[in-house]
Amino acid sequence: MIREKREGRRWKTSIFHLLFSIFCLMTFSGCTTEYNLATQQQETLLYGTEKEVAIGEAVAAQWEAREELVTDVDVNERVQGILNRITAVCDRKDIIYFIKVIDKDLLNAVSLPGGYIYVFKGLIDKVDNDDQLAGVIAHEVGHITAKHAVKRIQNAYGALILQGLATQSTAQVAKGVNFALTSLFIEHSQEDEFQSDRLSVKYLKKAGYDPRAIIKFLEKLKKEQEDTPLRQYSYWRTHPFVSQRISVVNQEITGKLEFRDYLNLMGD
């Protein structure tokens, strides 16, 4: 118990330092306005690509300090090869993309600012083919090209950290840090998920993969969701709205909205 508490304190301290560094990167850099090819919108962000990559690198270091990575050459070459095909046709070429496999039996994949992608081994074991795995990776690339994590950092917890620093309250800052890390890894908005799904269909088509594999994989996950309890970092917890996402993907592929898809999109 004492050891667990000590480890918990060390982890909280490291997270505090990490998020404080992110805050500094945000504070001492000016806003930048640019046209995002992925979202096809003019966007104003607190920092540019260099700062985004620095944030992703810092978070990736923390993530890898806590998680064991798969070192199997074949597994790593498989995911790297798929990533290379997708990023060759994606909307964003101003960063280097990295992909690593976390040695945990979980059905999930996550992306960080600046081009970092992590796929859990449990997900790789679950897919039927490379098309399905490419669908997952393309979805994460979509989050990166649309800069969803950057926007979550900017919108979700900047105010909390600012509030804590202004009052010099360690408790408030820690609360902001914990919320920040959770929002970064755990929760994707419905809008972000749908946008990444649409981008993944686009990227899969261009890269020569079957975009319908996304639907097959999501249907598989939906059944898994119904049969197993909710777990931390499970795919349907970090990537919610599975039924609606199936409808969005189908509409993006076919160019039409079927009645079943309409009902799913109208559902909760």
CA dihedral 179, 139, 155, 63 (to 10 degrees): 40
Give the chain's domain count.
1
- Is 15's pLDDT higher than 70? no
Share of the chain above pLDDT 90, in %: 43
Amino acid at residue number 173: V
Residue 168's contacts (CB-CB under 8 Å, 6 or more residues apart) are: none
For residue 196, what pLDDT is reported? Answer: 96
* Gap between the Cα atoms of 104 and 79, Å rounded: 16
Query: What domain range includes position 253?
Result: 2-266
* pLDDT confidence of residue 205: 98
**What is the full DSSP assignment across 186-245?**
T---HHHHHHHHHHHHHHHHHHT--THHHHHHHHHHHHHHHHS---TT-HHHHS--HHHH
Q: Where does the pLDDT of residue 122 fall: very low under 50, low under 70, confident under 90, or very high at 90 and above?
A: very high
Q: For residue 55, which of 43, 47, 45 has the smallest C-alpha distance?
A: 47
Using alpha carbons only, what angle is made at residue 149 by residues 70 and 187, rounded to the nearest 5 degrees? 80
Place of tokens 């979509």: 142
Helix or strand holding residue 79 (H, E): helix 73-87
| More confident position, 262 or 60 | 60
Which tens digits make up the pLDDT trace of 238-253?
555 788 889 899 999 9
Region 75-94: what's the mean pLDDT?
Answer: 98
Among the listed residues 65, 68, 62, the one whose alpha carbon sits nearest the alpha carbon of residue 177: 62
Q: Which residues contact 243 (CB under 8 A, 6 or more apart)?
A: 222, 264, 267
Tens digit of each residue's pLDDT (9 = 90 or more) over 211-242: 999 999 999 888 877 766 555 444 545 555 78
* Alpha-carbon Rg for the chain in angstroms: 19
Span 30-54, average pLDDT: 84
Mean pLDDT, the chain, whole residue set: 78
